[in-house]
């Protein structure tokens, strides 16, 4: 560790750099300069080079209705064709998807096979369910190849998919179905976890009770457990797919036609339907795959995310397939049967790029420190992390034990809204530092700004992570709520009197101009790399009849990065004697309203909450108490200052 602490800069592997797409910092700078000098020329050049257009675009960027911008006006393409059809000439027998199921079952799906599967799926949706361009389709699926087929089938038809992570509850699923007004839900009976079956279809059934919008449900039979079938609504994919034609024309889509929605937490109780459109999204998905992971023609790439999150969208399905790579899809639990599972897979599939979240790295480190040594993982070239800050001990282990001190670690910073990476090292060029996202990628005008002055902050000064010009894969809207789109992302920071995109994250420059993300500045916490709005958790807890008031904050957690800490004021205080029971009830409300991912790690049954005289809850105080920090704020102006000491004592005695 001493080397990391005293000289925390690791230069790219020279051998790797020789053939990397961006080979050194001069090349990086040249690209960034090109983008600065001729922004539209830069992006226009790549859009022509990287994408296959059915009709060419006649304008690169239209900012006249900022922040509702348009990229590549006039152009037509189809994202599924970008991911499949154009590879058929040179890669038809190449593995597109390598699937490993929970029980070790394997499938290798070539580009030609993917083409057939997606076409059949699209024909099924079109012919049997009447799905057409612009319709919304909710996908609530486990990590099986059919989930990728479903996404691509929607893209082929021009239908807008909205994937809901399989860990969300029926309530959360219903909210998302209703907000998007989806007419079809694609699901599975269930899947396997640690070789045991678990179920998804019953969750869909519960979500659809009293829900008017959904006409049809398509069920992939994966674990063959018994499920209810609603006549006229539910259909078996395995049956319907049998007689479908393997040819389906790809719908020509305008560059700005929506590709998908993905709901994410914000600072209110209602999740936002983040909208991504066709051309700009797929362009950046492909470019970042090439630049950041530097995947070569013969490489095998594995991202461990779930397709229910943006990482699964961009870096399991769209990005790798757009560039014609081989992407590994994994159904199982990464630490099952033991913490050697991923390294066994690396050895077996000769994986070259491995991309995961710091939470997974921490778990693998903690439960299987020596496991990487037991396998031949010498094929690895690039290691990625995403979703949350990675702490130096986990970084060191990842670098030395998994990367054998020869692999670049790309600490990729981005969000659902950015569509793809925005700040990240380039593995052949950027000298890396532990737990540092380093520099904006070429073409991304990322800056840390002072929210008051709109000026770039100085070294070691905290500011807001912003992007000062629209980029192709930028969020295009919040579904059905243009006001919320403007307010959420363009309302906080102005540079030269012009609103700029604000990520919601704080950040800091070091003396080399490197960017370190310091975390959210709003009431959003990051649990195991998943974004969770505290307001959403609070709304779920408030549904419990005995809860009078609640405030939820984040608290550092050894494995999850951040844990969920709730202060609950009960209506009738019989709960004190029965705290554990009450905690169970509250958590079961959360499971019902949101899902297991939002369950509280700690609940304190407080006598009251620290509030200003105007009734505003002082969350900063609650955050400090949860972290065990000293209270530095002035509490004399609170409605009842004594409550702070009482809560502090309760938390300390826990």
- Under the binding rule (CB under 6 A), the answer on residue 485 touching ligand PRX is no
**Contact call for residue 256 and ligand PRX (CB under 6 A):** no
- Residue 306 C-beta: closest distance to ligand PRX, Å: 11
- Quick check: 520 binds ligand PRX (CB under 6 A)? yes
Least CB distance to ligand PRX at residue 609 (A): 26
Q: By three-state DSSP, how is residue 308 classified?
A: coil
Q: Does 189 bind ligand PRX (CB under 6 A)?
A: no
Compare residues 121 and 263 and give the one whose CB is closer to ligand PRX. Answer: 263
Nearer to ligand PRX, 82 or 265 (CB): 265
Q: Which stretch binds ligand PRX (CB under 6 A): 62-70, 292-300, 466-474, 500-508?
A: 500-508
Q: Which residue is nearest to ligand PRX (CB)?
A: 416
Q: Which of 52, 57, 78, 210 is nearest to 156 (CA)?
A: 78
Among 189, 411, 447, 582, binds ligand PRX (CB under 6 A): 411
Judged by CB under 6 A, the chain residues 257 through 296 that form the site for ligand PRX are 264
Smallest distance, Å, CB 642 to ligand PRX?
Answer: 35
Q: With binding defined as CB under 6 A, does residue 536 bind ligand PRX? A: no
Task: Judge whether 311 is annotated as a binding position.
Answer: yes
Q: Is 243 annotated as a binding residue?
A: no
**Among residues 276, 531, 544, 557, the one that binds ligand PRX under rule CB under 6 A:** 531
List the one residue from 414, 464, 485, 605 that touches ligand PRX (CB under 6 A).
414
* Residue 324: half-sphere exposure toward Cβ, Cα within 13 Å: 16
Q: Kindly write down the DSSP assignment for every residue of 252-290, as one continuous string.
A: PEETTSEEEEEEE--SSSSPEEEEEEHHHHHHHHHHHII
- Residue from 251, 388, 401, 536 in contact with ligand PRX (CB under 6 A): 388
Residue 338 tokens read as: 């033991």
Helices (H), 368-499: 392-397, 482-490
Alpha helices in 388-503 (DSSP H): 392-397, 482-490
Q: Is 531 annotated as a binding residue?
A: yes
**Nearest to ligand PRX of 294, 388 (CB atom):** 388
- Beta-bridge partners for 572: none
Q: What is the largest CA-CA distance in the chain?
A: 74
Which one of 353, 412, 488, 534 is in contact with ligand PRX (CB under 6 A)?
Answer: 412
Only one of the segments 183-191, 413-421, 488-496, 620-628 lies at the binding site for ligand PRX (rule: CB under 6 A); that segment is 413-421
Binding mask 308-347 for ligand PRX (x = CB under 6 A): -xxx------------------------------------
CB 446 → ligand PRX: shortest distance, Å? 13
Q: Give the whole-angstrom CA distance, residue 652 versus residue 138.
A: 45
Closest approach, Cβ 10 to ligand PRX, in A, equals 17
Strands 463-467 and 446-449: antiparallel
Residue 359 found at the interface with ligand PRX (CB under 6 A): no
Q: Which is nearer to ligand PRX, 145 or 554 (CB)?
A: 554
Stretch that binds ligand PRX, among 13-21, 96-104, 382-390, 604-612 (CB under 6 A): 382-390
Q: Which is nearer to ligand PRX, 353 or 526 (CB)?
A: 526
387 binds ligand PRX (CB under 6 A): yes
Burial class (CB in 10 A: 0-12, 13-18, 19+), 627: middle
Question: Residue with structure tokens 């190849």?
Answer: 145
Q: Does 456 help bind ligand PRX (rule: CB under 6 A)?
A: no
| CA–CA distances in Å: residue 585 to residues 203, 413, 546, 581, 582 | 20, 36, 10, 6, 5
Q: Return the number of the residue (244 or 365) whose C-beta is nearest ligand PRX.
A: 365
- Asked if residues 478 and 466 have their Cβ atoms less than 8 Å apart, the reply is no
Instruction: Return the residue of 275, 277, 416, 624 that touches ligand PRX, per CB under 6 A.
Output: 416
Q: Which of 477, 504, 595, 610 binds ligand PRX (CB under 6 A)?
A: 504
- Distance in Å, CB of 31 to ligand PRX, minimum: 21
Alpha-carbon radius of gyration of the chain: 24
| The binder of ligand PRX chosen from 517, 525, 527, 583 (CB under 6 A) | 517
Q: Which of 505, 536, 562, 582 lies at the binding interface for ligand PRX (CB under 6 A)?
A: 505
Element (H, E) at 184: strand 184-188
Name the one residue in this structure whose structure tokens are 């052949």.
Answer: 428
H or E stretch including 409?
strand 408-412
Report residue 251 as tokens: 């719908």
Which of 164, 328, 410, 437 touches ligand PRX (CB under 6 A)?
437
Whether 281 and 419 have beta carbons less than 8 Å apart is answered as: yes
Residues forming beta bridges with residue 653, ordered by sequence position: none
591-630 positions binding ligand PRX, by CB under 6 A: none
Tally of CA atoms within 13 A in the half-sphere of 350 that contains its CB: 3
367 among the known binding-site residues?
no
> Which of helix, strand or coil describes residue 345?
helix
Nearer to ligand PRX, 110 or 416 (CB): 416
Instruction: Decide: is 528 part of the binding site for ligand PRX (CB under 6 A).
Output: no
Picking from 135, 400, 94, 126, the residue whose alpha carbon sits closest to that of residue 257 is: 135
Q: Which residue has the tokens 């100085």?
A: 458
Query: What angle is formed at CA 541 by the lines to CA 208 and CA 571, rounded to 5 degrees?
Result: 130
Nearer to ligand PRX, 554 or 610 (CB): 554
169 is in an annotated binding site: no
Which among 277, 525, 294 has a CA at the least distance from the CA of 428? 294
Coil/strand/helix, residue 562: strand
Report the residue count for the chain. 654
Cα 525 from Cα 523, distance rounded (Å) = 7
Question: Annotated binding site for ATP: which residue ranges?
Answer: 387-389, 505, 520, 531
Question: Annotated binding site for Mg(2+): which residue ranges?
Answer: 544, 547
Question: Annotated binding site: which residue ranges?
Answer: 311, 387-389, 505, 520, 528, 531, 544, 547
Residues near ligand PRX (CB under 6 A)? 264, 309-311, 386-389, 411-416, 437, 503-505, 517, 520, 526, 531
């Amino acid at each position: 560790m001493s080397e990391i602490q005293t000289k925390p800069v690791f230069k790219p592997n020279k051998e790797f750099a020789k053939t990397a797409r961006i080979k050194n910092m001069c090349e990086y700078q040249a690209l960034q300069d090109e983008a600065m000098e001729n922004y539209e020329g830069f992006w226009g050049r790549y859009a022509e080079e990287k994408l296959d257009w059915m009709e060419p675009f006649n304008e690169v960027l239209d900012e006249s209705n900022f922040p509702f911008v348009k990229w590549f006006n006039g152009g037509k393409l189809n994202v599924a064709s970008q991911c499949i059809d154009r590879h058929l000439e040179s890669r038809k027998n190449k593995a597109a998807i390598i699937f490993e199921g929970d029980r070790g079952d394997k499938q290798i799906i070539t580009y030609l096979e993917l083409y057939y599967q997606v076409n059949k799926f699209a024909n099924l949706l079109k012919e049997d369910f009447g799905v057409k361009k612009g319709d919304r389709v909710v996908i609530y699926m486990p990590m099986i190849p059919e989930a990728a087929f479903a996404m691509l089938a929607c893209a082929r038809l021009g239908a807008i998919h909205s994937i809901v992570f399989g860990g969300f509850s029926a309530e959360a699923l219903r909210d998302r179905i209703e907000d998007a007004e989806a007419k079809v839900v694609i699901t599975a009976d269930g899947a396997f976890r640690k070789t045991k079956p678990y179920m998804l279809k019953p969750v869909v059934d519960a979500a659809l009770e009293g829900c008017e919008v959904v006409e049809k449900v398509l069920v992939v039979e994966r674990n063959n457990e018994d499920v209810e079938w609603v006549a006229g609504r539910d259909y078996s994919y395995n049956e319907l797919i049998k007689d479908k034609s393997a040819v389906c024309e790809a719908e020509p889509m305008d560059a700005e036609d929506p590709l998908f929605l993905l709901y994410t937490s914000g600072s209110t109780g209602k999740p936002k339907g983040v909208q991504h459109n066709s051309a700009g999204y797929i362009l950046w998905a492909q470019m970042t795959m090439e630049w950041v992971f530097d995947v070569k023609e013969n490489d095998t790439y594995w991202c461990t995310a779930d397709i229910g999150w943006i990482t699964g969208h961009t870096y399991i399905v769209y990005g790798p397939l757009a560039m014609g790579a081989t992407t590994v899809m994994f159904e199982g639990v990464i630490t099952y049967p033991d913490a050697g599972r991923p390294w066994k897979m690396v050895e077996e599939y000769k994986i070259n790029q491995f991309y995961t979240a710091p939470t997974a790295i921490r778990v693998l480190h903690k439960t299987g420190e020596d496991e990487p040594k037991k396998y031949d993982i010498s094929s690895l070239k690039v290691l990625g992390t995403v979703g949350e800050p990675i702490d130096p001990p986990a970084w060191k282990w990842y670098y030395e034990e998994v990367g054998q001190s020869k692999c670049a670690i790309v600490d990729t910073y981005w969000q659902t809204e950015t569509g793809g990476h925005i700040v990240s090292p380039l593995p052949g060029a950027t000298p890396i530092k532990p737990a540092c996202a380093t520099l904006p990628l070429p073409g991304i005008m990322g800056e840390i700004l002072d929210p008051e002055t709109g000026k770039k902050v100085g070294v070691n000064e905290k500011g807001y992570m912003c992007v000062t010009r629209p980029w192709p894969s930028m969020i295009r809207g919040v579904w059905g709520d243009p006001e919320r789109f403007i307010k959420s992302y363009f309302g906080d920071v102005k540079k030269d009197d012009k609103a700029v995109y604000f990520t919601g994250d704080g950040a800091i420059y070091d003396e080399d101009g490197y960017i370190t993300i310091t975390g959210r500045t709003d009431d959003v916490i990051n649990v195991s790399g998943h974004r969770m709005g505290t307001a959403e958790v609070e709304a779920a807890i408030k549904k419990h009849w005995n809860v009078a008031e609640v405030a939820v904050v984040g608290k550092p957690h050894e494995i999850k990065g951040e844990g969920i800490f709730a202060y609950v004021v009960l209506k009738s205080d019989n709960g004190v004697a029965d705290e554990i029971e009450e905690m169970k009830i509250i958590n079961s409300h959360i499971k019902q309203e949101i899902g297991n991912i939002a369950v509280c790690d700690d609940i304190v049954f407080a006598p009251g909450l620290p509030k200003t005289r105007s009734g505003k809850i002082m969350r900063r105080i609650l955050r400090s108490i949860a972290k065990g920090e000293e209270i530095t704020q002035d509490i004399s102006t609170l409605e009842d200052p004594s409550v702070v000491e009482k809560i502090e004592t309760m938390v300390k005695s826990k």
